[in-house]
Amino acid sequence: MSTLKKIAVNASLAAIASLAVVASANAQLHVEVAGVGSNQIPIAIAGFTDEALTPQQVTSIIRDDLNRSGYFKIIDTNVVLSETATVNFGDWKSKGADALVVGSVQSLADGRFDVRYKLFDTVKTNALSGFSVTAPPGNIRLTAHRIADDIYEKLTGVRGVFSTRVAYVTKAGSEYRLEVADADGEGTKIALRSPEPIISPAWSPDGTKVAYVSFEKRKPVILVQNLITGERTEVANFKGNNSAPAWSHDGSKLAVALSRDGQTQIFTVNANGGNLQKLTSSSSIDTEPQFSADGQSIYFLSDRSGGPQIYKMSASGGDPKRVTFTGSYNITPRISPDGKTLAYISRRDGKFQLYALDLATGQELRLSDTTKDESPSFSPNGRYIMYATESGRRGALAVVSIDGKVKQKLTVQAGDIREPTWGPFMK
């Protein structure tokens, strides 16, 4: 079996806070952070008044989010300040804080909480942002994440991803689980349990569904699962391998890799399983398709040059153009949300590592220090990439900023964790 055929076979083998049909998982993700951004913003987060009333401490979640991002330096403070308090900007500036977060929590008669927050610029001595949210007890963590998102965006100019979700596959004993969690690893829920492998999960653009490959029928079959209702739709169950689902920009169809005609080739199929269209007809193995950010093109893996490399073609098919030239083994293309950066796994000197390619300049950057990397996935703001790797001979997840400076490792207490996919922004 050729190297790329093994890749093709391995690709077949290898969101919402109120999910209605999933059960809570026993183990949460453990996150370790290393490294910081090149320019950290010093920020003080005062305690919210009466936040002890809530199930989780709002300011603690905000602080953890911002600290985990690598782009903020948290200034220690034991002060409690509401959003209506008078702020002594000079005092906070003397403590080294360029920004200050204050707020309050009020318990309402119906059991919900009114959470209010305000963000100040201590240098310009003005308010930058603020809002109030009425939330049930179960949404306090989401509310805190949204506050952290707002702070991140106002101070960096880039939308925050703390309130987004991630999905991944864990294996404990003989059981495989498709799990969904908050971006910080908390709030883990199980979308699917199976005695057979689950691979290649991919979020729909609206965050309500996940496509994946299941082996429940003792062969690779592509399914789409509604995370709210639990309903599953069989999208591709053809002869041979059905693998590597990737959503179109509008969520109406999937690009997939099928070997129904012999050699693995690229097809598109409607998200409900109809209107199958073949895009490549080569004598090579074509697999791992990914739609471009604008939906006009598809990146994919092929051995047509003699070894596995990444190519790009029109979303309707046609003559492909080679994209990767450095290294003899480049697989698993993933495109950033702005379409400017291509992430992929490259094997060099026997190491499988995560790389990023600036498509405009052709400049390549190695992002990982690990050596058994796979399955990269961009955050929806394009600032981070999550990928699978190994830690202590067990599957683990890692997150790295696109400049390589901020690194996180995510592990579970027992079992392997692989196949990550970062969910979209939620409305």
Q: Is residue 93 assigned to a domain?
A: yes
C-alpha closest to that of 96 among 131, 146, 57, 44 = 44
Q: Are 222 and 332 found together in one domain?
A: yes
Q: Is residue 427 assigned to a domain?
A: no
From first to last of the 427 residues of the chain, give the pLDDT tens digit: 444 444 443 433 333 333 433 444 445 666 666 666 668 999 999 999 999 999 999 999 999 999 999 999 999 898 999 999 999 999 999 999 999 999 999 999 999 999 999 999 999 999 999 999 999 999 999 999 999 999 999 999 999 999 999 999 999 889 999 999 999 888 899 999 999 999 999 999 999 999 999 999 999 999 999 999 999 999 999 999 999 999 999 999 999 999 999 999 999 999 999 999 999 999 999 999 999 999 999 999 999 999 999 999 999 999 999 999 999 999 999 999 999 999 999 999 999 999 999 999 999 999 999 999 999 999 999 999 999 998 778 888 999 999 999 998 887 766 789 999 999 998 7
Q: Are 121 and 216 found together in one domain?
A: no
Q: Are 19 and 124 found together in one domain?
A: no
Q: Are 14 and 65 found together in one domain?
A: no
Q: Are 141 and 46 found together in one domain?
A: yes
pLDDT digits (tens, 9 = 90+) for 323-356: 999 999 999 999 999 999 999 999 999 999 999 9
Residue 37 is predicted with a pLDDT of: 60
The last residue of a domain, from among 156, 189, 224: 156
Q: Are 258 and 364 found together in one domain?
A: yes
Amino acid at 335: I
Q: What is the residue range of 40's domain?
A: 32-156
The last residue of a domain, from among 103, 125, 156: 156
Residue 241 is predicted with a pLDDT of: 95
Residue 202 is predicted with a pLDDT of: 98
Q: Are 269 and 345 found together in one domain?
A: yes
Q: Are 308 and 178 found together in one domain?
A: yes
Q: What separation in angstroms does the CA of 74 have from each of 68, 79, 129?
A: 11, 14, 19
Q: Are 38 and 112 found together in one domain?
A: yes
pLDDT digits (tens, 9 = 90+) for 358-368: 999 999 999 99
Residue 415 is predicted with a pLDDT of: 74
* Number of domains into which the chain is organized: 2
The last residue of a domain, from among 126, 156, 186: 156
Q: Is residue 411 assigned to a domain?
A: yes
Q: Is residue 329 assigned to a domain?
A: yes
Q: Is residue 281 assigned to a domain?
A: yes
Q: Is residue 364 assigned to a domain?
A: yes
Q: Which two tokens stand for residue 117?
A: 């927050």
Residue 409 is predicted with a pLDDT of: 86
Dist. CA 245–CA 213, nearest whole Å: 8
Q: Is residue 138 assigned to a domain?
A: yes
Q: Are 215 and 141 found together in one domain?
A: no
Cross-sheet strand order for the sheet of 374-378: 30-34, 407-411, 394-401, 384-391, 374-378
Please, are residues 2 and 10 in contact by the beta-carbon 8 Å criterion? no
What CATH number does the domain containing 69 carry?
3.40.50.10070
Q: Is residue 194 assigned to a domain?
A: yes
What CATH number does the domain containing 12 carry?
2.120.10.30
Q: Are 227 and 331 found together in one domain?
A: yes
Q: Are 348 and 274 found together in one domain?
A: yes
